[in-house]
Amino acid sequence: MLGRLNHVALAVPDLATATAAYRDTLGARVTAPQALPEHGVTVVFVDVGNTKIELLEPLGAESPIAAFLEKNPSGGMHHVCYEVDDILAARDQLKTAGARVLGDGNPRTGAHGKPVLFLHPKDFFGTLVELEQA
Amino acid sequence: MLGRLNHVALAVPDLATATAAYRDTLGARVTAPQALPEHGVTVVFVDVGNTKIELLEPLGAESPIAAFLEKNPSGGMHHVCYEVDDILAARDQLKTAGARVLGDGNPRTGAHGKPVLFLHPKDFFGTLVELEQA
């Protein structure tokens, strides 16, 4: 079921500072920031060739990463996203195996316009796992 | 400077349980566990096609991930590792830019038998960054 690593998401308190560090200090290719109000984040993609790093800054009062940054004010590793071929089949297989799907259990449209689900970090050893239909 | 993502390392309290979850629940290809006493970890590699996930369990009393698991008893995302062509050139460039290299500043031999360095998470927004000479 598990396909390639689509991205690793890192929450940062200040996107401009973080983007400058990845671009100038680490010498990576970075995109312009994109505001995704429906996801409560502004995102910059760092292209590392075989996958992407997503730098996430909270956007708006209901940002899903606000609580994480309250606990981790300097920022930190937020989630990993794996690709799957069929997100409904993956969800059903995971639920049968006892894994908990966050929210109402139905895929929603993710930051890349594709269906995504999040799995409970307690079922994956403290790591928040996103699945995206490739 | 920044090359491809070599791996994402996830610290877990129990490697056998975590390996079973990645293999059976997530349907991923996993290796047999390898004890790396000189690194203080036992590791299982999860092959996700474009990169690797490393599941790390502490090994021995001086394990570098023991403190992390004390703070995060369920486990969690521990570090990301990027490849670089020339680790000494990368180190010097990073130090010039003000980034702090952990330890004595000299590369040591990493889990894959190649020279590695770790960068201070405070300089990269709470994320521990490993560099490995590819």
**What's the first-to-final CA gap in chain A, in angstroms?**
12
- Cα distance between residue A7 and residue A82, in whole Å: 7
DSSP, residue by residue, B34-67: EEETTTTEEEEEEE-SSSEEEEEEE-STT-TTHH
Q: Which candidate in A1, A5, A130 is best for mutational testing of the B interface (most B CBs within 10 A)? A: A5
CA atoms in the 13 A half-sphere facing the CB of B38: 6
Q: Which region holds residue A88: left if phi is over 0, alpha if psi is between -120 and 50, else beta?
A: alpha
| Residue A110, pLDDT score | 86
| Residue A25, pLDDT score | 95
CB contact under 8 A, B5 and A50: yes
Is the CB of A89 inside 8 Å of chain B's CB atoms? no
In this predicted complex, what is the ipTM?
Answer: 0.95
CB contact under 8 A, B5 and A77: no
| Residue A61, pLDDT score | 83
Which domain range does residue A87 map to?
5-133
Per-residue pLDDT tens, chain B, 134 aa: give them: 899 999 999 999 999 999 999 999 999 999 999 999 989 999 999 999 999 999 999 999 889 999 999 999 999 999 999 999 999 999 999 999 999 999 999 999 988 889 999 999 999 999 999 999 98
Number of domains in chain A: 1
The secondary structure of chain A, three-state, reads CCCCEEEEEEECCCHHHHHHHHHHHCCCEECCCEEEHHHCEEEEEEECCCCEEEEEEECCCCCCCHHHHHHCCCCEEEEEEEEECCHHHHHHHHHHCCCCECCCCCCEECCCCCEEEEECHHHHCCCCEEEEEC
Residue B26 makes CB contacts below 8 A (sequence gap 6+) with A1, A2, A82, A94
CB contact under 8 A, A74 and B12: no
CB contact under 8 A, B25 and A99: yes
CATH number of the domain bearing residue A65: 3.10.180.10
CB B5 within 8 A of CB B82: yes
Q: Which candidate in A118, A124, A132 is best for mutational testing of the B interface (most B CBs within 10 A)? A: A124
The chain-wide mean pLDDT, for chain A, equals 96
Angle at B107 between CA B106 and CA B113, to 5 degrees: 155
Give tens-digit pLDDT for A19-63.
999 999 999 999 999 999 989 999 999 999 999 999 999 999 889
User: Is residue A112's pLDDT more than 90?
Assistant: no
